Amino acid sequence: MTRAELASMLRRFVGDEPDCGDWEWDDFVSVRAQPNLEPYRLRLLEDVHPHLGKEDRAAEVDDTLREVIAELEIST
């Protein structure tokens, strides 16, 4: 997976692009990523994963995902 592919997957997850696969998120966070993407996986596990499905944290989750997307796109 490239940085651009991860950014695209995250955009699909937050609904900015259609067709996020049913297991895409789980596949990414469940298995150690390539060294250049592992810091993003760890950040998402810590800052996003525990809050998924909690309506009171939805805005915070979206903000964090969008920050990660921006970081991935800037450094691509």
Calculate the alpha carbon distances from 45 to 28, 50, 56, 60, 66 in Å: 10, 7, 18, 14, 15
Smallest Cα–Cα separation from 41: which of 65, 61, 76, 16?
65
- pTM, full prediction: 0.81
Contact 1/34 with Cβ under 8 angstroms?
yes
Domain map (residue ranges) of the chain: 3-74
pLDDT per residue as tens digits for the range 5-35: 999 888 888 876 667 666 778 888 888 989 9
pLDDT per residue as tens digits for the range 61-73: 889 999 999 999 9
pLDDT per residue as tens digits for the range 33-63: 899 999 999 999 898 888 888 888 888 888 9
Q: Tell how far CA 73 is from the center of its chain.
A: 13
